[in-house]
Amino acid sequence: IADLGPLLDAAHEVLRLVGVSSPALDVLVSAARAAGAWGAKLSGAGLGGTMLALAGEPDVEGVRQALLAAGAVHTIHTQGGA
């Protein structure tokens, strides 16, 4: 699953370059990556405030805290199965 991280990062970069991201989303994506997420990208049509980050269980709380510190209003943790 960690191999999906760089694909999320690349997808976000494309979306940023075509103009559907926003400075606020870019800050959240960067904060998630800096806190140990394997990758992150905006979700939906962009220009809003939704993004997703993929992280291993040991890094989830750090990523969540980094997102809140960077201005996220809410975070949701969804755990995948094996």
In tens digits, the chain (82 residues) has pLDDT values of 899 999 999 999 999 999 999 999 999 999 999 999 999 999 987 667 799 999 999 999 999 999 999 999 999 999 876 5
> CA angle, 50 as apex, 44 and 55 as ends, to 5°?
105
Residue 74, token pair as written in the block: 């809410």
Q: Give the pLDDT score at 45.
A: 74
Residue 14, token pair as written in the block: 């494309």
C-alpha–C-alpha distance, residues 62 and 36, integer Å:
8
Q: Residue holding tokens 């997102």?
A: 67
Q: Give the pLDDT score at 52.
A: 96
**pTM of the shown model:** 0.91
Residue 58, token pair as written in the block: 């040991």
